[in-house]
């Protein structure tokens, strides 16, 4: 998608503070961090919303990637939150599915 922010990051047209990358996913620090640790994990395949996702392996890989990064960054044992927003009322602002991983402080509930 030529106008998708995350597709432009994947293509290298927009810089990102990358944490991890493989053939399927890319992880990078969120520029609007809401916690001491806040990064996004996105699929390299453009999928607009979670409602459009039909690849269980790829969606599962987003979660496993976030878990592995949280462990590598040293905050997994203290706890963290993973969130995927879907559509406007769900808080989605970039229409390319992405998983937020937040940690490094006590997170409250309900989230918003």
| Active centre residues (catalytic) | 98
Residue 66: which of 101, 102, 16, 24 has the closest Cα? Answer: 101
Determine which helix (DSSP H) or strand (DSSP E) holds 98, and give its type and residue range: none
Contact (Cβ atoms closer than 8 angstroms) between residue 44 and residue 12: no
- What is the residue-wise DSSP string for 25-92? EEEEE-TT-SSSEEEEEEESS---SGGG---HHHHHHHHHHHHHHHHHHT-TTT-EEEE---TGGGT-
């Amino acid at each position: 998608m030529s106008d998708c922010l995350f597709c432009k990051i994947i293509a290298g047209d927009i810089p990102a503070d990358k944490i991890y990358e493989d053939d399927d996913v890319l992880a990078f620090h969120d520029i609007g961090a809401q916690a001491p640790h806040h990064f996004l994990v996105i699929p390299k395949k453009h999928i607009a919303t979670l409602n459009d996702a039909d690849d269980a392996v790829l969606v599962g890989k987003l979660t496993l990637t976030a878990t592995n990064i949280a462990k590598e960054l040293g905050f997994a044992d203290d706890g963290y939150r993973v969130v995927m927003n879907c559509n406007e009322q769900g808080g989605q602002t970039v229409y390319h599915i992405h998983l937020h991983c937040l940690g490094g402080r006590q997170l409250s509930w309900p989230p918003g």
